[in-house]
Structure 1
Amino acid sequence: MSLLHPGDRVGETLVVDRFLGEGAFAEAYRVEHAYLGRLAMKLFKQVASEEQTHDLLGEARLLSTLGHPNIIRIFDAGTVTTPAGRRGYFTMEYVPGGTLQRFAAGHRPAVPTPVVTDVLTQLASGLAVAHELDPPVLHRDLTTANVLVGYDGPSLRIRIGDFGLAKHADPFTMLASAQGTYAFMAPEVLRGFGYSRAADVWSVGTIAHLLLTDHLPYDTGGPFEPLRLARFRRPLLPPSSYNETVDAELDAIVGAALEVDPDRRTPSARQLADALRARAGGG
């Protein structure tokens, strides 16, 4: 049962419109702001002491520093009284198109290749802003469920959402502890070596492979395959082996993002975005 209901007021300016869904730590609502119109709101489930609220709203503070058209925008943060007690929340832009996961499901067996390259370029460009902070911010949970799809007129515009697991890398090791979704985790993360910019790139490569082929990379389709490290001993089947519209250059870009050895992988989102733009421009 949700903590808030349609018609509930949050402060002086927000009214809950409808419940959108929930994850392990938070619920999502569509809300109406008295002046800004329709927004989305993330409401945390945990009891919000002052210290807990400060920690939970770290995502909002982090996102407020990442001004980029391909990263979700934050508008406000605070606490609200619910039937279960005081809870922290923040409001962000509402993206009516839904998630990339839903978008991909509507294009099975594969999203058109030009659309995929557009999505990937935008995704890598937004992620690059986080990667270029000092120390870098690592998302640690990039999946098709955490990328939102919207439109600017006829043009597709994606936003990276759900930075709930994002974390600044250690300024000396440039690593962060492992978090996230197994199917999108890099091999070195699954082996316990921590997250890096290259691990976020792996997640983008996984998204690319999934959109182009409807298959996870290095995956034979078994129910526990994402948990098996042995799968990385097999050679990667390039996207073109499933989808004849994928050219050799795009195969190479996706393959570089999915190198099992992180030292051989595309090292950051900026390099990935540059490679995609070079392909689009013919060099």
Structure 2
Amino acid sequence: MGNQATCNSQDYAGISETEAKLLQNVFAGLASRSPGRTMDKKTFLEYFDFQGMFGERIFKAFDIKKNDLIDLEEFMTGIARFLNGSQTEKTQLLFQMFDLHSNDQVDLEELRTMLYSMLKHEGLKSSVSRQASGVASNPNISVDVSTPIKKTTTNSNEGTSLPDQKKPLTLNIDPNDGKDWDPLPSPGKPKEFVEAEKVDDMVRSTLDSQREDPETMMAENLIEHTLTNYAKGKDYLTFREFQDWIQGTPQILRCMEFQFRAHVFKKGIKPRAGHLRKRGKTFKNMVTRYCVVQDGFLYQFRSDEQMQTSNPQNAIFLKGLRVKAGTSKADIQNHGITLESDVLSRTFYARTAEEKKMWLGWLTVESKTETLEDEYKRGEKVGEGRFANVFRCQHKMTGRDYAVKVIDKSKIDDADKEGLRAEIAILRMAIHPFIVSMKKVYETKTEIFIVMEWLEHGDLFKEIVRRKFFKEDAARHVIQQLCSAIRYCHLRGIVHKDIKPENILVERLDDPYIRIFVTDFGLSQFARPREEMKDAAGSVAYMAPEMIDDATFTKAVDVWGIGVITFVLLSGGLPFYDSDEVKLMDKIVGTPVSFANPRFKNVTEEAKDFIRRTLEKDPKKRLTISQAMGHAWLQQMDAIIPLVRKKSIVPTHQSQR
């Protein structure tokens, strides 16, 4: 533990002295990955594997000191609160997580964002869909969903009507525990959601693509019906009302408990163990340790006997560490194995060459840091950006082509690193037919590699240049897909912030139709429903007025980008243009959209109305993404679109930054 501070178990309810010491070792291993003796957000989210807004909010719940770092005290306090708190304490934590705007209330939009974010975690999705299926298939089951939330009459000083149950923290948690959750009511959704999803289903059917897997679709239905009925007639919930809602929807709290227990105390693969040597910290002499690789950690004991009776002397969190054979003469002679990150380097020595090979295999599997060259053959460069190049590559085993974005770490600052972390986190959780698919991420000391699906027909900008403009039915089909992708993001608290043709890749079908894939989430971020963001960036021609004229902006900027692209598709030109950037910004802010371009003579009034309402200057009056997708223009489908792919006739391109 070195100079790492220690904590007494009595400070943390339900945690024994033995468990406290183990958790301190775990924390030391995690903190060694960050500067100082604290854990940064990247390491926290890698360890717990919580994704999206759900992960962001859990980090904030741990970050009591609000400095974007977790120290030992915060780590231990958070573990105790999440695992051993009373029902009231856990509900308070959940309320804090769901209260995205920190105003001591939770509105339906905040509830929706958090619940959709939690859908990525299998505990909620599988349980809700299974319970919903049981309700739907059994005619003898009747669920009363007509009762709205009632205000509690309990005095605020009298505690809660929920039972005050505590569970001891154990190191042998069964991740399957808690799957038998209570059912939610039967499905039902607000009108604007129904209209939007009709369009979603329609456009996906033309491309032979389901909206989501059946479990996710059923879980989404249940979420919407739960929100509609449990919060009937209310714009927001106070803590007491939220507490009643949780009492009527217990699987939400159980999902959080299940996910947390499953990640804190994992039951992974069978441990691998044996002896390794290392240099002592003080005298630098060679000492032998009994080492165990299990559940993402390398645990070190003084001996195999000690492993049976006490906690490890040290623990190293392996995920993301680079594992390699030592290259110096001494390392080669002593069978050295190096574990390193940007802030950590540890070398261990095996007893024989065979054992060295065995340990390299074990550690590489747990670190999940195979190299790009292990699996892919890199080909020609197809794109270049400020700090990244994009190459075509081929999977060695399958022969399938992919694109790999190669980021030079020496060219990115702290802001770029946070943007890159968010981009990878978004791509990891975003599974959607109109969003580019990320296959894998690799990292070396100098570079980061993001492997994505290969799309050989280039981007939408090149497609517009090739065609001059799109016929209305083909343009509508593109916008239906784009709205589907952005709606998926907004429901999960993701704002793209840089919607433009260059960030949309295409796959050609039979003329005049294409399939699109939204890409380049480098400027994107997780945002609360009404969060006012700063630091506008992107191409001026596609920026919303509030990004230019105001200090802050909201997710409504994505809808503006959709409006600009709609105008460009139908006319071949921008709605606002000037070669002088300052004059261009003035036009975006102050000039009404005009349909003077002759190509709009044959465009329907529904299409023009869609453009007007998505290019509304006032973001509060602009269509939301669900309203845009439910617009009359997008509810039409003029033709059955054949599922035929065309060969590439334009230069290859993949988005890069």
TM-score normalized with structure 2 length: 0.38
**Offset, 1:77:** 0.1
Residues 215 and 137 of structure 1: CA distance in aligned 2, closer, same or farther (over 3 Å): same
What residue in structure 1 maps to residue 613 of structure 2? Answer: 256
- My pick for the range that moved more, 244-253 or 224-233, is 224-233
**Any conservation in 2 of the 1:41–1:91 contact (CA below 8 Å)?**
yes
Q: Which amino acid aligns with 1:41?
A: V
Segments of 5+ residues of structure 2 without an aligned counterpart are: 1-370, 639-657
**Offset, 1:271:** 2.1
Residues 193 and 255 of structure 1: CA distance in aligned 2, closer, same or farther (over 3 Å): same
How far does the alpha carbon of each residue in 1:215-265 deviate from its partner, in whole angstroms, 9 at most, with x for none? 21133x443366432553232113775422210010000110001111111
What residue in structure 2 maps to residue 87 of structure 1? Answer: 447
1:111 aligns with 2:111: no
**Aligned pair partner of 1:31 in 376, 382, 393:** 393
- My pick for the range that moved more, 175-184 or 38-47, is 175-184
- My pick for the range that moved more, 221-230 or 202-211, is 221-230
**Any conservation in 1 of the 2:544–2:588 contact (CA below 8 Å)?**
no
**Any conservation in 2 of the 1:205–1:254 contact (CA below 8 Å)?**
yes
**Aligned pair partner of 2:624 in 249, 267, 277:** 267
Q: Distance between the aligned counterparts of 2:596 and 2:623, measured in 1?
A: 17
Q: How many residues align?
A: 262
- My pick for the range that moved more, 87-96 or 241-250, is 241-250
Q: Distance between the aligned counterparts of 2:509 and 2:438, measured in 1?
A: 19
1:203 aligns with 2:567: no
Residues 198 and 149 of structure 1: CA distance in aligned 2, closer, same or farther (over 3 Å): same
What residue in structure 1 maps to residue 600 of structure 2? Answer: 243
Q: Distance between the aligned counterparts of 1:54 and 1:79, measured in 2?
A: 15
Q: Distance between the aligned counterparts of 1:200 and 1:21, measured in 2?
A: 25
Q: Distance between the aligned counterparts of 1:113 and 1:239, measured in 2?
A: 17
What residue in structure 1 maps to residue 259 of structure 2? Answer: none
Q: Which amino acid aligns with 1:59?
A: E
What residue in structure 2 maps to residue 3 of structure 1? Answer: none
How far does the alpha carbon of each residue in 1:133-192 deviate from its partner, in whole angstroms, 9 at most, with x for none? 1xx1110111110000114677521000101111011x3742322222111000001123
How far does the alpha carbon of each residue in 1:6-52 deviate from its partner, in whole angstroms, 9 at most, with x for none? xxx83311111110111223111110012351001111123299x98
Greater helix content: 2
Identity %: 24
TM-score normalized with structure 1 length: 0.83
After TM superposition, the runs of 4+ consecutive aligned structure 1 residues lying more than 4 A away are 51-55, 152-155
Larger radius of gyration: 2
Q: How does 1:39-58 map to 2 (within 5 A)?
A: 39-47=402-410, 56-58=420-422
Residues 90 and 226 of structure 1: CA distance in aligned 2, closer, same or farther (over 3 Å): farther
SS in structure 1 at match of 2:424: helix
**Aligned pair partner of 2:524 in 166, 170, 180:** 166
Q: Distance between the aligned counterparts of 2:381 and 2:584, measured in 1?
A: 32
**Offset, 1:59:** 1.3
Greater strand content: 1
**Any conservation in 2 of the 1:213–1:239 contact (CA below 8 Å)?**
no
Segments of 5+ residues of structure 1 without an aligned counterpart are: 1-8
What residue in structure 1 maps to residue 545 of structure 2? Answer: 187
What residue in structure 1 maps to residue 462 of structure 2? Answer: 102
What residue in structure 2 maps to residue 76 of structure 1? Answer: 440
Q: Which amino acid aligns with 2:432?
A: H
**Any conservation in 2 of the 1:256–1:266 contact (CA below 8 Å)?**
yes
**Offset, 1:118:** 0.6
Residues 61 and 226 of structure 1: CA distance in aligned 2, closer, same or farther (over 3 Å): farther
Q: Distance between the aligned counterparts of 1:161 and 1:201, measured in 2?
A: 16
**Aligned pair partner of 1:14 in 376, 379, 403:** 376
Q: Distance between the aligned counterparts of 1:153 and 1:33, measured in 2?
A: 28
Q: Distance between the aligned counterparts of 1:230 and 1:13, measured in 2?
A: 50
Residues 239 and 194 of structure 1: CA distance in aligned 2, closer, same or farther (over 3 Å): farther
**Any conservation in 2 of the 1:183–1:226 contact (CA below 8 Å)?**
no
Q: Distance between the aligned counterparts of 2:555 and 2:596, measured in 1?
A: 23
1:67 aligns with 2:459: no
**Any conservation in 2 of the 1:53–1:88 contact (CA below 8 Å)?**
no
